[in-house]
Amino acid sequence: MSTIDFNIRAAAIADWPEIKRIYEAGMHTGLATFETIAPSYEQWSDEQISACRMVIEANGELLGFCKLSRVSKREVYQGVGEVSIYIDTSHSRKGIGQHLMHALIEASEQQGFWTLEAKIFPENIASIRLHLKNGFREVGIRERIGKRDGIWRDNVLLERRSNVNGIH
From residue 105, alpha-carbon distances to 19, 36, 38, 66, 69 in Å are: 20, 27, 25, 10, 13
Domain-located, residue 23: yes
Domain-located, residue 43: yes
Domain-located, residue 167: no
Domain-located, residue 166: no
Domain-located, residue 141: yes
Parent domain of 36: 7-161
| pTM exceeds 0.75 | yes
| Average pLDDT rounded to a whole number, residues 47-67 | 89
d(CA 12, CA 135): 28
Averaged confidence pLDDT in the chain: 92
Domain-located, residue 97: yes
The closest of 111, 129, 22 to 66, measured between CA atoms, is 22
d(CA 4, CA 116): 29
State whether residue 20 is helix, strand or coil. helix
Domain-located, residue 78: yes
CB atoms within 10 A of CB 125: 11
> Is 123 or 166 the better-scoring residue by pLDDT?
123
pLDDT at 143 over 60: yes
Domain-located, residue 143: yes
Residue 48 pLDDT level (bands cut at 50, 70, 90): low
Q: What is the CATH number of the domain that holds 80?
A: 3.40.630.30
- Which residues are CB-neighbours of 55 under 8 A, at least 6 positions away? 8, 9, 10, 11, 15, 18, 19, 62, 64, 65
Total domains in the chain come to: 1
